[in-house]
Amino acid sequence: MIHRRRLLLAAAGGAGLGLARLAAGAPNIGPAGLSAGALESAEWDTLPGKLPLIKRSWRPPNFETPTRFFNEPFTANDAFFVRYHLAGIPQVDAGTWRLRIGGDGVTKPFELSLAELQRDFEHVELAALCQCSGNRRGLSDPHVPGVQWGYGAMGNALWKGVRLKDVLARAGLAPDAVEIAFDGADTAPLDATPDFVKSLPAWKALDENTLIAWQMNGEALPHWNGFPVRLVVPGWTATYWMKHLVSIDVRRSALQGFWMNPAYRVPKGKFPIIERFVSQEVPASTPITEMVVNSLITNLRDQMMYKARSPLFVRGLAWDGGFGVNRVEVSTDGGREWRLAELGEDHGRFSWRQWTFAFTPDPGEHVVMAKASNRIGATQTFDLVFNPAGYHNNVVQRIRINCA
Query: Do 210 and 154 share a structural domain?
Result: yes
Task: Note down the domain range covering 258.
Answer: 98-287
Which of 22, 52, 79 is the last residue in one of the domains? 79
Q: Are residues 273 and 304 in the same domain?
A: no
Pick from 228, 197, 215: nearest CA to 125: 215
- Whether residues 131 and 269 share a domain: the answer is yes
Per-residue pLDDT of the chain (404 residues; tens, 9 = 90+): 223 333 233 333 333 333 333 333 343 477 877 877 788 778 899 999 999 999 999 899 999 999 999 999 999 999 999 999 999 999 999 999 999 999 999 999 999 999 999 999 999 999 999 999 999 999 999 999 999 999 999 999 999 999 999 999 999 999 999 999 999 999 998 888 999 999 999 999 999 999 999 999 999 999 999 999 999 999 999 999 999 999 999 999 999 999 999 999 999 999 999 999 999 999 999 999 999 999 999 999 999 999 999 999 999 999 999 999 999 999 999 999 999 999 999 999 999 999 999 999 999 999 999 999 999 999 999 999 999 999 999 999 999 999 99
Residues 150 and 281 placed together within one structural domain of the fold: yes
156 and 241 fall within a common domain: yes
What pLDDT, on a 0 to 100 scale, did the predictor assign at position 38?
Answer: 81
- 322 located within any domain: yes
Q: Examine the domain organization and report whether 177 and 215 are in the same domain.
A: yes
pLDDT at 45: 93
Distance of alpha carbon 40 from the chain centroid = 24
Write down which residue in 255, 287, 319 finishes a domain. 287
**CATH number of the domain bearing residue 386:** 2.60.40.650
Number of domains in the chain: 3
* 299 in any annotated domain: yes
274 and 325 within one domain: no
Residue 339 is assigned to a structural domain of this protein: yes
- Same-domain status, 217 and 313: no
Phi, psi of 141 (to 5 degrees): -135, 110
Q: What does the alpha-carbon distance between residue 194 and residue 67 come to, in Å, rounded to a whole number?
A: 33
Which residues have C-beta within 8 Å of that of residue 63, sequence separation ≥ 6?
Answer: 45, 47, 50, 53, 54, 55, 56, 81, 82, 224
Domain assignment present for residue 87? The answer is no
For residue 272, is the peptide bond before it cis, meaning its omega torsion is within 30 degrees of 0? Answer: no
For residues 140 and 255, membership in a common domain is answered with yes
Query: Is there a single domain that holds both residue 123 and residue 72?
Result: no
144 and 239 share one domain: yes
- Residue 26: the pLDDT is 40
Tell whether pTM > 0.85. yes
* Residue 360 DSSP SS3: coil
Counting Cα atoms < 13 Å in the Cβ hemisphere of 136 gives: 21
